[in-house]
Amino acid sequence: MATAVTTAVQDDGETAAGVREGLVSPDVRDLVRRAGALSPVLAVIALLLVPGGGGAQGGTGGTGTIADAASGLLVLICLVRVVRGGARPLTRAAAVVLGLPVLGICLAAITSNDPAASLPGVARYVQIFVLVPAAVLLMIRDRRDFAVVAWGLVALALLQGAVGVVQYLTKTGASYMGEDIRAVGTFGPTDVMGMATVVAYGLVVVVGLALGSAPGRTRTAALVCAGLLFVPLVLSFSRGAWIATVLACGIQLLISGPRRAAKVALAAGALGVVLVGGLGIGSEMVKERVTSITQVAAAPDQSVTDRYTMWAAAGRMWRTEPVTGVGLKGFPAYRDSNASLALSSGSDTAGAGAAFARQPLLSPHNMYLLVLSEQGLFGLLALAGSWVALLVGALRRRRLAAECALVAAGLLAWQLIDFFYADIGGPSTVLMSVVLGLAAWWSLAEVRRA
């Protein structure tokens, strides 16, 4: 398998009709065979349905979920396959792009004031941004494998979204404005971004498939899934996920062509009016939440004030150690000495089967500022440079297979935009590594024109 990855992405005997269909419908036998070969990757995705036992730990903290354990098994299985194959597992470009973050991570750990305390952060960063993405890249052999993993993300999004909608309707979700109505899926109130992230991934995937596929069953299924996923995304009340999804889908539309972009934008607007305005899906609270996006400077709520305060604290940390930062997992230790008195003691969490609790603010909720404060400018350039290289690679290959390019570019764009409002931490983080691996396959594997 490793040989196939390093040499070329096989066409699997695609006929001209198969090329026109793009990522659609291999026969059932082939689908089962592929799912079996990709089972380590699909297991990581599926196990995110298991409710997590811990809260989201900001920054470099790990959560020790069963999905994280499955990701470790994925890396081990991939390593065994590579050793048995006896071939170079990655191309030179792939090794450089995926290995680049290791430089900043290790340098920040070595120069940290407490290197021992930074070791868990090293393990977490290497897991999320290097090992798991590389393992997913090596597991995927061709475009149909890409499709199986992509639809696996959609299936997880539909299931988590269904749980979230039920939570909203039955008022068993996380607490929001005094009511237990916030859709959080199985992630619980301590990881309110978990379900929103999963659903947003699924929505971006189906938008890419709908825009890139020829008319047929794939496009129809993708459009139906998009309509279904729109609802739980709205009910997540996550402003960051909304902004990232709108912008990522907008980028996908522009890549697919301005005329199509205009048509889809009108259809999406009409769908939003029907679901939110006509059917009244959280209409008042959604309106207030959308309005609050434009009021972050004039009359910010406490959550926005806390975020601005932590952003300023991260900036002060970076100015004290501009090249290498204060060290991995250093933000919580240096937070109070750099934050103003406007910072609250934590955020309130309740609902979704959990008692009221105060969740400490252990990260700036901005990935770029987190990396800048803990790893310095060197670490940020290494990590962000890897992400930008993946995005550029995905866009450069858009003529080889439109649906793959749109999915990969959309997922990367969503993640890079969302990083302005969020960082790693929580059970859903491991899914991000799978998404990066999926995009890395398209950006870095040697793909022949179909």
- pLDDT tens for the chain, 450 residues long, are 444 444 444 444 443 344 344 454 446 788 888 888 899 999 999 999 998 654 444 444 445 789 999 999 999 999 998 888 766 788 889 999 999 999 999 999 999 888 888 999 999 999 999 999 999 999 998 899 999 999 999 999 999 999 999 999 999 988 887 788 899 999 988 888 899 999 999 999 999 998 887 678 888 999 899 989 999 999 998 888 999 999 999 999 988 877 777 777 777 677 666 665 555 555 566 666 666 665 555 556 677 788 888 999 999 999 999 999 999 999 988 888 887 776 776 665 666 666 666 677 788 889 999 999 999 999 999 999 999 999 999 998 887 878 899 999 999 999 999 999 888 988 889 999 999 999 999 999 876 544
pTM, rounded to two decimals: 0.87
> How many angstroms separate the CA atoms of 95 and 97, rounded?
6
> Using an 8 Å Cβ cutoff, are 409 and 252 in contact?
yes
In one-letter notation, the amino acid at residue 46 is A
In one-letter notation, the amino acid at residue 81 is R
> How many angstroms separate the CA atoms of 5 and 141, rounded?
6
Class of residue 400 by CB neighbours under 10 A (exposed 0-12, middle 13-18, buried 19+): middle
**Which residues, including other chains, have CB under 8 Å from residue 350's CB and lie 6 or more apart?**
174, 175, 180, 189, 356, 357
Beta bridge mates, 349: 357
